[in-house]
Every structure is written in structure tokens, then in C-alpha cells.
């Protein structure tokens, strides 16, 4: 696992956007096959998406041959609801880039047969060729996508029940009323994320510090599902200084030293 540490979320987001663009460009230079990416929602990716939008407009990267799959969606929330992940993705990314509409995949939280919807999603990911890169954020309890504590680290796309903690944290988008946050969601599984050739996780702010310390220094555990990244051969966590505030000093120095050595 690599840990990239930047001063603040703005610098971390620039690093992430430029890294993703470089990966898209690198694949486009060697093959006509599409670049398949997993995408996330939340406040964390907003600045990264803003930089990717700028880069698309400046001609520095194109999403014309990118296929995306979002990691999760609430169950039962209308797609047109301002807090649906459909609305979020269009507002903060898809409406401003050149990714063809047919390449965009987001789970349908209102599907008449939710089990089939989740199974079909996994099949569509495989049909697209599998993920080149999965971009994710984390919850305060270390959940990745909506893989709450005690989710199987072998899980695949399915319907999940949100914890009360997550509903309380996410209630800031629902009039501060946890009861208005849907009780369930559809989410890719931990194993779906780890099936990607590469995983990049972003975490900013002191509220993520405990989860980041558990993910990096703690044991791999279903209690903190992002810790499963420890078993991935190409996992990167991008943090601001606040999010690494609970790491041991020696861990912090190690990751800084690795980055400095690789930059030479």
C-alpha cells in the first residue's frame, strides 16, 4: 500500500485528478480498449472532479473512451432527488465532461428486482473488461462504498442496510434528520472494489483520522472495510495532513520517505 500525503484537500485532489488523467491517457496511448473506472460520491471527490472537468475542457484528458460504474446508490430515493447519487454525479461530473451517456453506469435504487439489478451490475462490470482503477472515499467508520462494518470482505454488489451512524453522518444532506436518510442502499462489495487493477482511496479531514489509522496500521478486518486494501497489490490512499493525524510518527515518516525516494 502507498500513502500519499498532501497539505490539504485541495492539493490532495489535484494529485488524484492528475493521477487519474495520466492513467486514462496512458491506456489511450497504447490501446483502443476503454478505460474502466469505478467512481464515488460524497464531499471528498468534489475537488478532484472539478479538476478533471477543467482538464477535459482544456483538452488535457478525454472521457470519450471511459466507461464508469458508480459504487453505490440509495434504495427507494427517486433518481431526480437532489441527494440521489445519480443527481450528484451529473451535477459534479457527468454534465461537464465528454463521457458518452451510454458509458455511465449507476445502480438503480428503484429497480423492481433489486437482487437482479445487483447481479446484472456485476455482469456489466465483467463485460466491460473489469476495472482499470477504482476511486473511492471512506466513511468515518472506515466503510468503503456502503460496505458498513461487518460486511464480508468477499462481498459483491448487493442491497445493504445502513448503520445508524452512517444515517446520522449523511443526515447533513437530508435536513439533519437521520430518519430522512434511506435505510438501505445498493453497493458494490469489498471484493468488487478489490477486483480493480488499481484502487485509489481519498480521505480528508480529522474526522477520517481514526479510520485511516485503522486501515493502514490495524489488522485487516470487516470492522473497517477499507482495511481490505492491505491485501491489494496496487492500493493507494491519498490523505491530507489532518486525515493522517492518528498515524504513528514512524508510519508517517515511512510513507513520506517512500514518496521522496520514488520521486528521484
| Residues with active-site annotation | 72, 141, 143, 148
Q: Which is nearer to ligand GLP, 4 or 181 (by Cβ)? A: 181
Structural contact between residues 77 and 84, judged by C-beta atoms closer than 8 angstroms: yes
Is residue 40 within the footprint of ligand GLP (CB under 6 A)?
Answer: yes
Q: How many residues bind ligand GLP (CB under 6 A)?
A: 14
Distances from the Cα of 90 to the Cα of 29, 83, 151, 169, angstroms: 27, 11, 29, 23
Contact stretch for ligand GLP (CB under 6 A) within 53-61, 116-124, 138-146, 223-231: 138-146
Residue partners of 218: CB distance under 8 A and separation at least 6: 224, 227
Determine if 148 is a binding residue for ligand GLP (CB under 6 A): no
Could you say whether residue 200 binds ligand GLP (CB under 6 A)?
Answer: no
Q: Which window, 93-101, 112-120, 134-142, 191-199, contacts ligand GLP (CB under 6 A)?
A: 134-142
Among 166, 192, 195, 225, binds ligand GLP (CB under 6 A): 166
Q: Which of 1, 18, 42, 153 binds ligand GLP (CB under 6 A)?
A: 42
Q: How far apart are the first and last CA of the chain?
A: 19
Grid cell, residue 79, equals: 433518481
Q: Which residues pair with 66 in a beta bridge?
A: 35
Of 54 and 207, CB closest to ligand GLP: 207
Among 51, 72, 73, 122, binds ligand GLP (CB under 6 A): 72
Q: Which residues contact 82 (CB under 8 A, 6 or more apart)?
A: none
| 178 near ligand GLP (CB under 6 A) | no
d(CA 86, CA 88): 5
- Residue 39 binding ligand GLP, by CB under 6 A: no
Pairwise CA distance, residues 85 & 74, whole Å: 7
Beta-bridged to residue 201, according to DSSP, are 136, 237
**Contact with ligand GLP (CB under 6 A): which of 89, 135, 145, 209?**
145
> Per DSSP, which regions of 153-234 are E strands?
158-161, 184-187, 199-203
- Site residues (vs ligand GLP, CB under 6 A): 40-44, 71-72, 137-139, 145-146, 166, 170
Amino acid at each position: 500500500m502507498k500513502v500519499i500525503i498532501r497539505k490539504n484537500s485541495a492539493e490532495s485532489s489535484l494529485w488524484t485528478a492528475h493521477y487519474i488523467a495520466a492513467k486514462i491517457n496512458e491506456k489511450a496511448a497504447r490501446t483502443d480498449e476503454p478505460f474502466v473506472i469505478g467512481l464515488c460520491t460524497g464531499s471528498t471527490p468534489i475537488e478532484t472532479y472539478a479538476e478533471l472537468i477543467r482538464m477535459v475542457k482544456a483538452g488535457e484528458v478525454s472521457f470519450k473512451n471511459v466507461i464508469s460504474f458508480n459504487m453505490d446508490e440509495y434504495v427507494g430515493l427517486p433518481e431526480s432527488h437532489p441527494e440521489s447519487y445519480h443527481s450528484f454525479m451529473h451535477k459534479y461530473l457527468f454534465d461537464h465532461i465528454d463521457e458518452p451517456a451510454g458509458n455511465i453506469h449507476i445502480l438503480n435504487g428503484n429497480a423492481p428486482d433489486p437482487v437482479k439489478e445487483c447481479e446484472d451490475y456485476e455482469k456489466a462490470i465483467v463485460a466491460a473488461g473489469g476495472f482499470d482503477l477504482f476511486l473511492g472515499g471512506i466513511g468515518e467508520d472506515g466503510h468503503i462504498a456502503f460496505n458498513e462494518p461487518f460486511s464480508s470482505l468477499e462481498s459483491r454488489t448487493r442491497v445493504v442496510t445502513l448503520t445508524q451512524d452512517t444515517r446520522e453522518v449523511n443526515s447533513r444532506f437530508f435536513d439533519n434528520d437521520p430518519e430522512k436518510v434511506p435505510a438501505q442502499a445498493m453497493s458494490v462489495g469489498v471484493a468488487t472494489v478489490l477486483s480493480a487493477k488499481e484502487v485509489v482511496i481519498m480521505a480528508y479531514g480529522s474526522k477520517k483520522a481514526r479510520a485511516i489509522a485503522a486501515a493502514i496500521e490495524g489488522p485487516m478486518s470487516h470492522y473497517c472495510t477499507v482495511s481490505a486494501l492491505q491485501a491489494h497489490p496496487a492500493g493507494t490512499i491519498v490523505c491530507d495532513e489532518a486525515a493522517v493525524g492518528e498515524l504513528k510518527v514512524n508510519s508517517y515518516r515511512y510513507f513520506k520517505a517512500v514518496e521522496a525516494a520514488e520521486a528521484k
